[in-house]
Amino acid sequence: MAPRVPAAVAKRVRLGSLARAGMGVAVEYTTLGRTGLRVSVAGLGCGGFSRLGLGRGRNEDAAIAVVHAALDHGVTLIDTAAAYRTEDVVGRALAGRREGVVLATKAMVREGGRVLSGAEVVASLEQSLARLRTDRVELFQLHAVLAREYAHVMAEIVPALLRAKAAGKIRHIGLTETAPNDHGHDALARALEDGVWETVMLAFNMMHTNAREVLFPRTRAQGVGTLLMFVVRNVFSQPARLEEEMRGLVAEGKLAAEVAADPLGFLIHAAGASSLTDAAYRFVRHEPGVDVVLFGTSDVGHLRENIASILKPKLPAADLALLRARFGHLVGVGLDGPKVAG
Ligand SMILES: NC(=O)c1ccc[n+]([C@@H]2O[C@H](COP(=O)([O-])OP(=O)(O)OC[C@H]3O[C@@H](n4cnc5c(N)ncnc54)[C@H](OP(=O)(O)O)[C@@H]3O)[C@@H](O)[C@H]2O)c1
């Protein structure tokens, strides 16, 4: 059954159409920390396994349709990366529609086993700008940085980024973690010791909530904008993956077998969530310290559902309490993905 679309979403969709017609916009926005950028609370992720559909065997026209659907629904934050190989389709999709979009991209800081120089990272930025068909990005992020690379990043790469910023090619700079390899958020925790980063991208989900203690108090105090990833990924979108994760947790003695047998079914009820993905997006959206919830998809129907979920109210208090009691001790669940690229 399709989830009921709240009035706020219906309004947003109509106003998105009005915006295209140049008649004003009033969708749901927030401020991305001290960047001061106004951004939609739902951000389109162009990476992950879906890569706008290119990762699922869809063609480029279908990928462009996903971007257009996001814009039509009022999404203004689009997150891509050189490593995703979606910059070119994003650039094509934004032809004539670039205004008002907060475009975020990233560069890796390593190639093979080698860390890159500042000049190499800026060369990656230049290539990204060409593929995106733009002369600057609102947010440029270093992609999947490990704590052990951080000293090099500060000494060698940040000065080059600041020069690119002064030259007008970047408006703001951010750092993203490599969640599969950094369950404790070590790289971002280290980065928050410096005042240079305006945003961080981090993993946070119903079974991986340690950012609540490790990061959010500090990002909030410092005005560092936050973008969330790994909210759904495979664990909450593929029942077989959830079962597999649960079996692993039972085997490690981290979860009781009775809980693992039906871990999240209690979330789905008339006054609660309509699906696990609905629960997952609503769970993170209302967490203090969360600015933008990224969602990745190949499917326009999923896109609509996800935006609707992100705009829905909090999950019921009793459900949130049970989530915390059952899974609050877990770390690193659902962080599947490439072991190097993030
Ligand atoms: N280190 C980094 O910098 C890093 C790492 C990972 C991700 N990211 C960013 O974060 C973004 C979001 O992460 P993510 O791609 O893993 O997104 P996600 O929202 O956590 O999960 C997306 C997965 O869930 C599925 N899905 C989405 N909506 C669904 C729905 N309504 N019903 C059923 N399945 C649904 C998608 O498959 P369908 O295609 O079938 O919808 C996709 O496989 C990425 O695109 C990227 O921009 C950054």
Does the structure show a pLDDT above 90 at 333?
A: yes
pLDDT category of residue 27 using cuts at 50, 70 and 90: low
Instruction: Examine the pLDDT at 242 and tell me if it is beyond 80.
Output: yes
CA atoms within 13 A on the CB side of 318: 6
Q: In this structure, what are the phi and psi dihedrals at residue 295, rounded to the nearest 5 degrees?
A: -130, 140
Pocket perturbation via mutation, ligand 1, pick of 86, 206, 230, 242 by most ligand atoms within 8 A of CB:
230
- Whether residue 3 is predicted with pLDDT greater than 90 in this model: the reply is no
CB atoms within 10 A of CB 245: 21
Please check the confidence at residue 266 and state whether its pLDDT lies above 70.
yes
pLDDT for 2 equals 32
Integer angstrom CA distances of residue 142 from 175, 176, 178, 322? 5, 6, 11, 36
CB 173 within 8 A of CB 141: yes
If you ran DSSP here, which 8-state letter would residue 6 be given?
A: P
pLDDT beyond 60 at 243: yes
How far away, in angstroms, is 258 Cα from ligand 1 center? Answer: 29
Distance CA 306, CA 153 (A): 35
| Model pTM score | 0.93
Whether 150 is catalytic is no
Residue 338: its pLDDT value, please? 57
Which of 78, 146, 237, 278 should be mutated for ligand 1, with most atoms under 8 A from CB? 237
Using 50, 70 and 90 to split pLDDT, how confident is the model at 23? very low
Which of the two residues, 339 and 70, has the higher pLDDT score? Answer: 70
At how many degrees (to 10) do helices 7-20 and 60-72 cross? Answer: 110
**CA 172–ligand 1 middle distance (angstroms):** 24
pLDDT at 188 over 70: yes
Compute the average pLDDT of residues 24-51: 89
DSSP string, 167-180: TTSEEEEEEEE-GG
pLDDT value for 337: 77
Q: Is the pLDDT of residue 185 over 60?
A: yes
Q: Which CATH architecture fits 27-323?
A: Alpha-Beta Barrel (3.20)
Choose one of 44, 50, 300 to mutate for the ligand 1 pocket test, by most ligand atoms within 8 angstroms of C-beta: 50
- pLDDT tens profile 208-227: 999 999 999 999 999 999 99
Q: At what angle do helices 276-285 and 300-311 cross, to 10 degrees?
A: 50
Of the listed ranges 4-13, 127-136, 324-333, the least confidently predicted one is: 4-13
Mean pLDDT of 201-206: 98
Mean residue pLDDT of the chain comes to 92
User: Ligand 1 centre from 149 Cα, in Å?
Assistant: 26
> What does the pLDDT read at residue 113?
87
Rounded to the nearest whole angstrom, what is the distance from the C-alpha of residue 269 to the centroid of ligand 1?
24
Closest-CA residue, ligand 1 atom 30, reads 302
- Residue 284 pLDDT exceeds 50: yes
What integer is the mean pLDDT of 297-309?
Answer: 96
The predicted-structure confidence for 149-163, as pLDDT tens digits, reads as follows: 999 999 999 999 999
Residue with tokens 């063609």: 59
Q: Looking at the predicted structure, is the pLDDT value of residue 22 above 80? A: no
Report which of residues 305 and 11 the model is more confident about.
305
Whether 17 has a pLDDT exceeding 60, the answer reads: no
**How much of the chain, in percent, has pLDDT values that exceed 70?**
91
Measure the CA angle with vertex 67, ends 61 and 70; round to 5°.
Answer: 140
Per-residue pLDDT reduced to its tens digit, 104-149: 999 999 998 899 999 999 999 999 999 999 999 999 999 999 999 9
**How many angstroms does the Cα of residue 163 sit away from the middle of ligand 1?**
32
User: Above 50 in pLDDT, residue 5?
Assistant: no
Query: CB–CB of 105/44 below 8 Å?
Result: no
pLDDT the model gives residue 12:
41
- Average the pLDDT over 75-93 and give the result: 98
- Tell me which residues have their CB closer than 6 angstroms to ligand 1: 45-50, 56, 79, 143-144, 176, 178, 201, 229-233, 237, 277, 294-299, 302, 305-306, 342
How far, in Å, CA of 331 to CA of 30, rounded? 28
Domain range list for the chain: 27-323
pLDDT band (50, 70, 90) for residue 14: very low
Q: Which two three-digit tokens encode residue 185?
A: 């958020």
Exposed, middle or buried: residue 254 (CB in 10 Å: 0-12, 13-18, 19+)?
Answer: middle
Handedness of CA 61, 67, 69, 71 (dihedral sign): negative
The residues facing 78 across adjacent strands are 44, 103
Greater confidence, 113 or 271?
Answer: 271
